Structure 1
């Protein structure tokens, strides 16, 4: 019985780690690598990329994210079991055993470290593999002691374009030589932190009850959303600064940055709750019922104000598709600008 639970179908593990969300970070890793390759091809003599390096970047991305996500599920399984939204996840519901997920995490970790050997004689990836993995694992415990947890998650994803750049262009000095991937990494960090704050609003009350340090749990939904807006503003700033230190990017990239800003603005308009003074709820009930389902599940009281939240499920679906558009869109914009 135990043996059967360890060797579950691959689809169960893909569901455990939400493999489809790999689309968020992978395009930025590809873009970081292509930016480095573009500079290498302009050198004298031109330095052509090795196919084994490109394969290694893909494998490292998949293994690192899979290890980090499965470790997160292990670390949070007790919290997930007490949260109505997450109680059906694979570990709390018993679909997968703790032992099987531990083995899966170990296998992915070994796969990640082993994949860095493909980059030899470039030793930077293999020398930094363990510290990077520990940093990724650290995110799973960050919510227990710091409100910077959202930035920690963002930094974990933001490492991907920097790491891909170093694979193809292992030059880290002078410092300005790695400004382009650092700015791209910062953009990914702030982008991820922003949508993670919005996503965490679903669990604001649960996080507060559990004593966790998410921004919604500490400051409430309305106190947390301005941070998400700030993070996304900083993302756009980082994107627009990249051409200042990376000559191949120009007007096309700037256009992509502006479109990204518009998409982010639309996202925040979608999650902006409706405000109604609590003493006016009776008069407002009829109007509210015409626009949003008035239930305890979508009503939050803060400071004498009732905030009627938008449909969380629909918002998350919209965010998933919007974020998919942003990541793939910026990859396409970057490739076009590099080719023009």
Structure 2
């Protein structure tokens, strides 16, 4: 119950503290999913410049979003025994530093989007708004869990817009090229692992008047997480078929499902920390597998 992905040990230096504060490794875990969207949208490999700009946009938006999340929750985190060692709570990261990081992150995101293509830039304020409003939603509704999950889905969506926008001149055509089944599947998958964060805090959140499906559903919350991830897996297989993907894509989808199942087993045993990280690993397996499948163009099953 003491696990916290945002915790930072003291006396390990500013760089370490900053990396824990931003949970920067999760940016790298999201990258294969962004590239999944980019590859599947055009059934090919985008230019190297576009791939770099996708990484840049994801990296900077992660900085802004995670910093804003920590800043909005710092008083709540200070009262929660599980989150009391977060850098903004302990003072290892100052409030003014956090505000500066938000400005840097948003500026870097919008500049990256500008250089991707016109449609990425046009849609960037909507993406930023969804990311930056998340920490306030849990004050009002349990659907804040889906709000967070939609941010993960935006990685797939944004990658698709980045590549499709190079080839289509209308927003309609760009949005049509987005692999929506993968976007929705990613949302269902992320809802599951987000609940692994919230279930240990259900009693605390209830006392603080915060909302989540962990609070709303009580003992059924873990099953709800599992059902969402089962729906995610079904949609992933459907998307593999719809987009005529090959054996590597199907194999990676199976592996993705097996890792999710093991993560659910760990969560059921109360090991929410390991369950959380195994879920992140599952997205890497799925994203990389489909990226490689598109890259190699191996003959399809159907």
Q: TM-score, normalised by structure 1?
A: 0.77
Identify the match of residue 258 of structure 1 among 248, 251, 254.
Answer: 254
Instruction: Say whether residues 1:67 and 2:64 are aligned partners.
Output: yes
Question: Contact (CA 8 Å) 1:52, 1:118: kept in 2 or not?
Answer: no
Equivalent residue number for residue 131 of structure 2: 136
Q: CA deviation at 1:318?
A: 4.6
Deviation per residue, 1:228-248 (Å, 9 max, x gap): 01110111011011133312x
Q: Which moved more, 1:211-220 or 1:131-140?
A: 211-220
Question: Contact (CA 8 Å) 1:33, 1:168: kept in 2 or not?
Answer: yes
Equivalent residue number for residue 197 of structure 1: 195
Alpha-carbon distance between aligned partners in 2 of 1:167 and 1:266, rounded to the nearest angstrom: 33
Alpha-carbon distance between aligned partners in 2 of 1:336 and 1:64, rounded to the nearest angstrom: 26
Instruction: Say whether residues 1:32 and 2:37 are aligned partners.
Output: yes
Identify the match of residue 186 of structure 1 among 184, 187, 196.
Answer: 184
Identify the match of residue 20 of structure 2 among 15, 29, 32.
Answer: 15
Q: CA deviation at 1:56?
A: 0.9
Alpha-carbon distance between aligned partners in 2 of 1:331 and 1:130, rounded to the nearest angstrom: 25
Change (3 A) 1:269 1:147: same
Equivalent residue number for residue 153 of structure 1: 148
Q: CA deviation at 1:174?
A: 5.4
Question: Contact (CA 8 Å) 1:33, 1:161: kept in 2 or not?
Answer: yes
Change (3 A) 1:168 1:144: same
Which structure 2 segments of 5+ residues have no match? 1-12
Deviation per residue, 1:85-116 (Å, 9 max, x gap): 11111111111111110111111111111111
Which structure 1 segments of 5+ residues have no match? 1-7, 42-48, 274-309
Structure number, greater radius of gyration: 1
Equivalent residue number for residue 302 of structure 1: none
Alpha-carbon distance between aligned partners in 2 of 1:16 and 1:269, rounded to the nearest angstrom: 28
Equivalent residue number for residue 288 of structure 1: none
Q: Which has the higher contact order (CA 8 A, sep 6+)?
A: 2
Q: Which moved more, 1:23-32 or 1:143-152?
A: 23-32
Deviation per residue, 1:180-216 (Å, 9 max, x gap): 2x11111211111101112211111110100111111
- What SS does the corresponding residue of 1:92 show, helix, strand or coil? helix
Question: Contact (CA 8 Å) 2:35, 2:291: kept in 1 or not?
Answer: no
Alpha-carbon distance between aligned partners in 2 of 1:203 and 1:131, rounded to the nearest angstrom: 30
- What SS does the corresponding residue of 2:239 show, helix, strand or coil? helix
Equivalent residue number for residue 221 of structure 2: 224
Change (3 A) 1:163 1:176: closer
Structure 1 segments of 4+ aligned residues over 6 angstroms from their partners? none
- What SS does the corresponding residue of 1:85 show, helix, strand or coil? coil
Alpha-carbon distance between aligned partners in 2 of 1:175 and 1:52, rounded to the nearest angstrom: 19
Alignment of 1:112-127 (within 5 A): 112-119=109-116, 122-127=117-122
Alpha-carbon distance between aligned partners in 1 of 2:240 and 2:122, rounded to the nearest angstrom: 30
Question: Contact (CA 8 Å) 2:138, 2:211: kept in 1 or not?
Answer: yes
Equivalent residue number for residue 273 of structure 2: 316
Question: Contact (CA 8 Å) 2:160, 2:178: kept in 1 or not?
Answer: no
Q: How many residues align?
A: 280
Equivalent residue number for residue 332 of structure 1: 288
